[in-house]
Structure 1
Amino acid sequence: MDAATVNDLPDLSLFDTFPKLLQLHARNHPDEVALRVKDLGIWHSLNWREYQTRVKTFALGLHHFGIGRGAVVALIGDNRPDWVCGEIAAHAVGAMSLGMYRDALDEELAFLITYSGARAVFAEDEEQVDKLLALGDRIGTVKLIVYSDPRGMRKHTDPRLISVTELMHHGDAVASEYPALYDELVAATKGEDVAVLCTTSGTTANPKLAMLPAGRIIRHCASYLGVDPKGPRDEYVSVLPLPWIMEQVYVLGKALLSRMTVNFVEETETMMSDFREVGPTFVLFAPRVWEQIAADVRARIMDASPLKRRLYDYGMKLGLDALDKGKRSWLADLLLFKALRDRLGFTNLRSAATGGAALGPETFRFFMAMGVPLRQLYGQTETLGAYTIHAAGDVNFDTVGKPFDSAVEVKIDNPDHNGVGEIVTRHPNMFAGYFGTEAASADLRDGWMHTGDAGYFDKSGHLVVIDRIKDIATTSLGDRFSPQYIENKLKFSPYVAEAVILGDQREHLAAMICIRFPIVSKWAEKNRISFTTYTDLASRPEVYEMIRCEVETVNKTLPDAQRIRKFLLLYKELDADDGELTRTRKVRRSVIAEKYGTIIDAIYGGRPSIDVDTTIAYQDGTKQRIRTVLKVVDLAPGDTAPAFPKRAA
């Protein structure tokens, strides 16, 4: 196959699968760096030829073990080149890949593996292998477990276990006996065959598995590149979980189309330092990461000298004032932002994005004022990720931009008198249905994907996403509000990690707040406040008073009916392992309502404090009994803020 290109992209009618694109680049750009990974402090690069060779031997190794068309190959671990190689190798033999979150618990893994019927699993290291082996006969479909890191593996004797090195030896043996086999396997792959099984968010139950054909991913990524171009000189750092649809889009789809270099950090703890070493030209972070970075910046300023704090405050004021006028402040850049971008690794950024959930306007403004070219994305797993984005120079903090191109149709279904209704969409490259069931495809009607999100179009044609329709709440007095909107405002505070807004069918709004422990603990130490644990710190009156100030600051920006009247600080952080959050950090409101029902009733019952005696389980199996008293802070109503249109909240 020759590389016929249109707009510098391969001919998508010929190169319609990931193995075909990889084969093309290995032939035409063999020595160009494709992947880079940091290990033991040293960056190691794989060029396109080495990338192709590793995928080929993986694929032929899978073929040796009878993994082929129609099979499912699962993958679990950190973002690493072997994950990507294993995924493309699965596609090369006609199998489907299924990414599983590295921190998934036993029940989640058992469900995904048995439901999909996965026959092979790429597991990065001992931690992941131990999880799989502990499931025993519950994952009886699994015949092969491939691990990359051999440390700690000598104690295991399970016959299903094999190292990546052994897998490659088998692959090399197959290649020696049948030299043309890999090329034949790749040529047999088809763009309309399902290649990726991608888990949905699962905010209410077990996730569904969206079936994504490779050709549709590739064509949709080509549309995406039309509004956010990338090329061989671009550097991307992969830090979001690879099972997430948007990381699949960037690390596989867009990288294999544009040949941008994908970098993998050494550890989660070294992410920002590794990020700075790369100096990427593009970054995609989930809202929780942008919120954490903003919180860390503000926390560092607390430890700075009085002069530096004044310079920071002055620079931020200049930057935000200029941003409100659609401009940039050269003085703010000189005093603050240039050094700040360098410290964070943002110096070379030409494009930055956030997606997966709503990002609070205050956090958005913070980075835009800094000079980070941040844009909001919106989409779903079923739509192959994002399909709207802000155009450069047309960024509105309260919206998610416009559709990629004319092929993407978005409309508001059953709008009310304010134009608010359910967001529905369709485009030529959506998912092929849900794996294993027809009934679960009810959200797809007449070719239109019903997102379950409430939204409207503003006067400039931008799409505004309010919240999940089922989550939009109404007080007993008839005032509608979006919990997510208010929660995002609270999370701009460096001291607030998570918040859950209550008030549906109640007289007023209340909040359950989780403190951001690393920053609040630093604040406590600086103010000589003694504490032992998270629970102890969250119960301190000084912490309550500090959080009270943060809540009152948010209240001033809200209409009177949507202000928080009461709040308390939870005795623990919300955790995906406890089912309180999804793996992409979205609140599971039904779980919260059930699990903390007694506390919620006590808040609205007028009690000034709530006794808690409970046990929490940690991931390592240990348990801890917690006995504490939660103080309910009653905020006196303040002056009425200018009323916002109800549809915008």
Structure 2
Amino acid sequence: MSAAALPDLKVHDTFPKLLALHAREHPNDIWLREKDLGIWNAFTWSQVAERVRRITLGLETLGVGRGDVVALIGDNRPEWLMGEIAAHAAGGMSLGIYRDALADEVAYLVTYADVKVVFAEDEEQVDKLLQLEERIPTVRHIVFSDPRGLRKYEDPRLIALKDLEEAGAARHAADPGRYDALVASGSGEEVAILCTTSGTTSHPKLAMLTAGALLRHCRSYLDVDLRGPEDEYVSVLQMPWIMEQIYAFGQALISRMKVSFVEEPETMMADMREIGPSFILFAPRVWEQIAADVRARMMDASALKRAMFAIGMKLGLKALDEGRRSPLADLILFRALRDRLGFSRLKSAATGGAALGPDTFRFFLALGVPMRQLYGQTELLGAYTIHTAKDVDFDTVGVPMAGVELRIDDPDPNGLGEIVTRHPNVFTGYYRNADETAHAFAEGGWMRTGDAGFIDPKGHLVVIDRIRDMSRTAQGDRFSPQYIENKLKFSPYVGEAVILGDGRAHLAAIICIRFPIVAKWAEKNRIAFTTYTDLSVKPEVIALLRREVESVNRSLPEKQRIAKFLLLYKELDADDGELTRTRKVRRGVINDRYGDIIDAMYRGDPRIDIDTTITFQDGTKQRIKTVIDVVDLDVAQPAPASKRRAA
């Protein structure tokens, strides 16, 4: 599909209007696929449009009208996509809730937005809602699509999706023109989506997005990275995230690219290999996990395969640094590896939502994956910078899309300052939060991102870190915790890392091991262990991670090297508030929750006694009693600035 063949968004300015257009002009073309019980089920444009019509009219029978909020929670499924478009067709606003959100998080979002109807995928999500009882008084109906385990539930708010569709079909029979009238009355300038912000410091805010702005922004995106009906996209990132809204909804409805849904998160790589997508979008944590899994599999490979892998990576990285590809590396390693990962047909692969470490980026570029880095915010409709196909630089996030303006405010002598942005298609404000909306924009419609960065001589934007996270040691040396954390996470053995050192004499790190891979390493080396906590305190594991940290230190400037680290007794968890749902570290929570451990590490304690209780998602508790070793890496620790001046 050429850019000229894309729909006229002045006419087809909402999701339901675009769906109706394609159902009319391409009724038998496949749009969606879902794998269920090992079988791929396909949905044509006309089939999706028919179900959306029934769901829309069914929502009307439940009292949903213009301005009402419909929430959706569950895995990525065609029914989520249909339910969201139906909510828009009925005149309502959709609110996506992350599938792993805890009950308290769900209660906050549902009550804050006065949600009337919730689409809950299955028994797990229904139970989450039912246990809230009177805490969600606005919810009148809970629509479930998977009936397994729910047949004996008697809550009057529950209604099966198929029953809702039957009610919608009956309403259509009584008033055949009702749905078309609803779609025609919709306007692209009305708020269609309430999209949660990342919430790194507090409860997420709800950014109000109009369908017209989102679609126009998707059109700018497609000008840089065009796709069409022959292209394949596999939806794996959670639907509430702004970039999945951009890819699986906006871009798909404009370009007619096919969207496929994997059976389970655990089968993602196998399912994706069967589809052979031409476009993928993964969060940095997914790319890091894939790179780590590749390295982990090499642990079990034969000596010959390990040698071939080492030679192939060396040749590939050397060629990458010289601006070319290595045919020999492709022959002995990369071609087969791309096929194994399902990347053989990729035209473009993107990452966004947080910074991806340059080592991980280089790994995939050398592999032959056409990686591009994105940068943006929910309020600015997701990504608004991207690498062009012929100008990819793993140290940057690319150049602005058409119509996007960037500037750097209050730059230091090196040009580093706050990234400030504006473009025509931005959010209309925060839902029911006029004060935060007023604070979001500077004069002239510019929005402060809160990120520190600079523009390099090629015009590429370089993002360093959140401004509030940019730190200085006691000696005044600046460092970016995120940059160092990303270098650590390139190791297959590091699952998460938090760099400390703001106002301190030196840098230190709290590291969480990547349990599945470290466990495999331990089994291979005949190291007995029982739990994550037990494995993390094994001397051999500590020595393994010490080598990884020392390797990272060698790639860092002297004043940014890690002087001490410890292995935490548990994984950082979004359920505990330590990470956001998009896996960003909540540094304030870390500093508060592990303040005693941090103080002991900087006090010079060689070992730290731990006696604490952790609570699991199901409410069960476990007492953890252990001793953590603090590893001193013998990094030279400079004297405080006052002493240096005295000398």
TM-score, L = length of structure 1: 0.97
Aligned mate of 2:303, from 303, 306, 319: 306
Equivalent position of 2:410 in the other structure: 414
Q: Pick one of 182, 186, 200 that aligns with 2:183.
A: 186
**Within the alignment, does 1:601 sit opposite 2:607 as a pair?**
no
Letter in 1 for 2:112: Y
Q: Distance in 1 between the 2:637 and 2:278 partners?
A: 45
SS in 1 for 2:430: coil
- Give the partner amino acid of 1:315: G
Q: Which position in structure 2 is the counterpart of 1:206?
A: 203
For residues 409 and 480 of structure 2, the distance between their equivalents in structure 1, rounded to whole angstroms, comes to 19
- Please give the per-residue CA displacement for 1:420-469, whole angstroms capped at 9, x wherever unaligned: 11001010000000001101111212311110000000111100000000
User: In the alignment, which residue of structure 2 is the partner of 1:145?
Assistant: 142
Which residues in structure 2 correspond to 1:370-449 (within 5 Å)? 370-405=367-402, 407-441=403-437, 442-446=439-443, 447-449=445-447
Aligned residue number for residue 118 of structure 1:
115
Whole-angstrom CA distance in 2 between matches of 1:444 and 1:26: 39
Q: Can you give the 5+ residue segments of structure 2 that lack an aligned partner in the other structure?
A: 639-647
CA contact 2:451–2:467 (8 Å) conserved in 1: yes
Give the deviation of 1:107 after TM superposition: 0.9
Distance in 2 of aligned mates of 1:303 and 1:519: 11
* Equivalent AA in structure 1 for residue 303 of structure 2: P
Determine the structure 1 residue equivalent to 2:644: none
Give the Cα–Cα distance (whole angstroms) in 1 for the partners of residues 80 and 118 of structure 2: 10
Specify the code of the residue in structure 2 equivalent to 1:458. D
Q: Matched residues in 2 for 1:351 and 1:83: separation?
A: 25
Per-residue deviation, residues 210-264 of structure 1 (Å, max 9, x unmatched): 0000000000000000000010000000000000000000111000000000000
How far does the alpha carbon of each residue in 1:15-67 deviate from its partner, in whole angstroms, 9 at most, with x for none?
Answer: 00000000000000000000000000000000000010011000000011110
Write the distance in 1 (CA, Å) between the matches of 2:131 and 2:635: 54
Is residue 202 of structure 2 the alignment partner of residue 218 of structure 1?
no
Is structure 2 residue 63 aligned with structure 1 residue 69? no
Identify the residue that residue 132 of structure 2 maps to in structure 1: 135
Code of the residue aligned with 1:421 in structure 2: it is G
Aligned-pair distance for 1:615?
A: 0.4
- Between the aligned partners of 1:516 and 1:324, the Cα distance in structure 2 is 29
RMSD, aligned α-carbons: 1.0
Partner AA of 1:576 in structure 2: A
Distance 1:449 1:37 in 2: 39
Displacement of 1:639: 12
Matching residue of 2:168: 171
Long gaps (5+) in structure 1: 641-649
Q: Percent identity?
A: 68
Paired residues in the alignment total 635
CA distance in 2 between counterparts of 1:187 and 1:291 reads 45
The more displaced of 429-438 and 441-450 is: 441-450
Verify the 8 A CA contact 2:262 2:268 in the aligned structure 1: yes
Contact 2:537 2:629 in 1 (8 A): yes
Runs of 4+ off more than 4 Å: none
Q: Supply the distance in 2 between the matched residues of 1:28 and 1:82 (Cα, whole angstroms).
A: 23
| Aligned position for 1:251 | 248
2:502 maps to what in 1?
Answer: 504
Shift of 1:10: 0.8
Structure 2 Cα separation of the partners of residues 227 and 51 of structure 1: 28
Distance 1:590 1:298 in 2: 33
Deviations 1:570-628 (A, max 9, x none): 00000000000000000000000000000000000000000000001111111100000
In the aligned structure 2, how far is the partner of 1:106 from the partner of 1:125? Answer: 15
1:314-358, Cα deviation, whole Å (9 max, x unpaired):
000000000000000000000000000000000000100000000
Provide the C-alpha distance between the structure 1 equivalents of 2:3 and 2:321, rounded to a whole number of angstroms: 40
Q: Is the Cα contact below 8 Å between 2:3 and 2:223 reproduced in 1? A: no
Local SS of the residue matching 1:218: helix
SS of residue paired to 1:357: coil
State the distance in 1 between where 2:247 and 2:398 align. 19
The answer for the alignment partner of 1:335 in structure 2 is 332
Which structure 2 residues correspond to residues 224-303 of structure 1 after superposition, within 5 A? 224-303=221-300
Question: Cα distance, 1:156 vs. partner?
Answer: 1.2
Aligned to 1:460: 458
State how far apart, in whole Å, the 2-side matches of 1:287 and 1:536 are: 28
- Once the two structures are superposed, residues 621-648 of structure 1 have per-residue CA deviations (whole angstroms, 9 ceiling, x without a partner) of 11100000000000012799xxxxxxxx
Q: Classify 1:132/1:185 alpha carbon distance in 2 versus 1 (closer, same or farther; 3 Å).
A: same
- 2:496 is the alignment partner of 1:524: no
**Which of 618, 625, 646 does residue 616 from structure 2 map onto?**
618
Structure 1 counterpart SS, 2:361: helix
Deviations 1:170-206 (A, max 9, x none): 0001000000000000000000000000000000000
Residue pairs, 1:487-636, within 5 angstroms: 487-636=485-634
1:53 corresponds to 2:57: no
Residues 1:37 and 2:27 are matched in the alignment: no
Q: Which amino acid aligns with 2:26?
A: H
Matched AA of 2:528: S
Give the AA of the match of 2:454: Y
Provide the C-alpha distance between the structure 1 equivalents of 2:107 and 2:177, rounded to a whole number of angstroms.
37
Q: Which residue of 2 aligns with 1:645?
A: none
Counterpart residue identity of residue 91, structure 1: H
Q: What is the DSSP-based 3-state SS (H/G/I as helix, E as strand, rest coil) of the residue aligned with 1:590?
A: helix
Tell me the amino acid that sits aligned with residue 469 of structure 1.
I
Superposed displacement of residue 155, structure 1: 2.3
